[in-house]
Amino acid sequence: MALCLAACAITPLSAKSHTETQLDSLIANHKLIFFGDGENPHADSVRSLITNFYYDQFRHFQDPAAPYFLFMSKNSDLAMGIGGVVRMRGWCDWGGSVNSSAFAPYLIPIPSDPTHDKDLGTTPAGTSLFFRVLGRNKTLGNYQLFIQAQFSGYDNRDFKLKKAYAIINDWTIGYATSTFSDPGAEPPTVDANGSNVSMDQTAVLVRWMRDFKSHWRVAASVETPAMSLDTDGTSTAARSQYLPNIAALIQYKWGFQQHVQLAGIMRSLPYCDLINQKNHNTIGWGLQLSTVLHPLPQLTFYGISCYGKGFASYSGDMLMGKYDMVGDPERPGRLYAPAAFSLMAGLQYNFSPTVFASATFGHSRYLPSKAVSPDDYKYGQFMCANLFWNLTPRIQIGGEFDLGRRQNFNHEHRWARRLNAMVQFSF
């Protein structure tokens, strides 16, 4: 936190970062189709409305750019666009393989699988289509409608819904990114999974979010719950959830896409003790501190740290297991919420507004307070280095080296390595 504050103090507020210059080129790269009577709206009004496509609290690096073709009313009170991204990835594993299109340390097999030590694969996962409407109304104020679906279902080819929500002034209603997340603080990666600390879960929610005095932002939401419990069906069983998750955040922001944010979540985790025929309800919670800032115009720093109990299904690596609640070996029929901790740091360097590189380190650790199986996951480490080139504002290629390690409680560990390549076209 001290490093973040020091960097904030030396950040040149007047200097335009290279990432902002790149965004400017995207904002200018649109085909506008006006409808209605009268003269075309002023250029400043048009730019202001288009900019809203990009300045999104929960926008992720891998989200598609604003649509190239935009339909806009003559008074610039309404803009509508249908766009998407065609994205193709290829990878090569050696010296240890992750049997998945997404690189995750949790999935590294221990012991090694001699039939799957090397791997070559491709996937269109991440190819998506979306529809967005932005408008202003005398009665409703500012509003927005957004629907996005992508090819990442069965065999990475089925079309499935990713987001669907409406925003009216300070309120968001629908299937959207959880308030307990900060996608903007996650560094760019070629791999679809990102770092093993990434938290960009989606849920059906109702969220209130408001800015105060230009620098402060607060938000709170109620979200549809989902949990992952390690039940065996004989001594313990999951119960249906009947209380929503409560999430909130407070953020201090300045300059262009720079902020420090603290977010929290509280969850209800109900289960049944089948041995004593009793119902129990445990409260899970999590805290997340995150930041993104530009110490220099060409440099961007990303950072995320999380800690809590019973929130593992929100964490990038541990959501692949069942760690929200696990069995208590000292009390048959009972579960408890173990602690978990994660830390991620990333640096991005822009050689120019169109060419940039980044490096990321992530560490995710499972912290049970009871005895566990010796071959259970203890921690995972993720490292990557990549290079991106925007050939045009709409065409991007990238290459990446991924390195991951899984460590078990019995001290056994394995490494995995991957080369990733990606090409995408936004429209």
Q: pLDDT digit of tens for each residue in the chain (427 aa)?
A: 444 444 444 444 445 666 666 666 666 666 667 766 666 666 666 666 667 666 677 888 888 777 777 777 766 677 888 888 899 999 998 877 787 888 888 888 888 878 777 888 888 888 889 888 888 777 778 888 999 988 775 555 677 888 999 999 899 999 999 999 998 899 999 988 888 888 778 899 999 999 888 889 999 999 999 888 888 888 999 998 889 999 999 999 987 788 999 999 999 999 999 999 999 999 999 999 999 999 888 899 999 999 999 988 887 788 888 889 999 998 999 999 999 999 999 999 999 888 999 999 999 999 999 988 999 999 999 999 999 999 988 899 999 999 999 999 999 999 999 999 999 998 8
How far apart are the C-alpha atoms of 245 and 362, rounded to whole Å?
A: 26
How far apart are the C-alpha atoms of 90 and 373, rounded to whole Å?
A: 35
pTM value? 0.86
Q: State how beta strands 377-392 and 395-408 pair.
A: antiparallel
pLDDT of 13:
45
Six-digit token string for 66: 């604003």
Of 363, 289, 283, 365, which Cα lies nearest the Cα of 324?
283
pLDDT of 48:
66
pLDDT of 101:
81
Q: State how beta strands 258-273 and 236-238 pair.
A: antiparallel
User: Which domains, ranges and CATH numbers included, belong to the chain?
Assistant: 2-12+87-124+170-426 (2.40.160)
How far apart are the C-alpha atoms of 353 and 422, rounded to whole Å?
A: 19
Six-digit token string for 176: 């959207």
Using alpha carbons only, give the angle 136, 137, 138 rounded to the nearest 5 degrees. Answer: 130
Per-residue burial over 43-80, b if 16 or more Cβ lie within 10 Å, else e, is eeebeebbeebeeebbebebbbbbbbebebbeebbbbb
Angle between helix 43-51 and helix 18-28 axes, rounded to 10 deg:
120
How far apart are the C-alpha atoms of 397 and 358, rounded to whole Å?
A: 14
pLDDT of 9:
44
Q: State how beta strands 236-238 and 245-254 pair.
A: unpaired
401 half-sphere exposure, CB direction, 13 A CA radius: 4
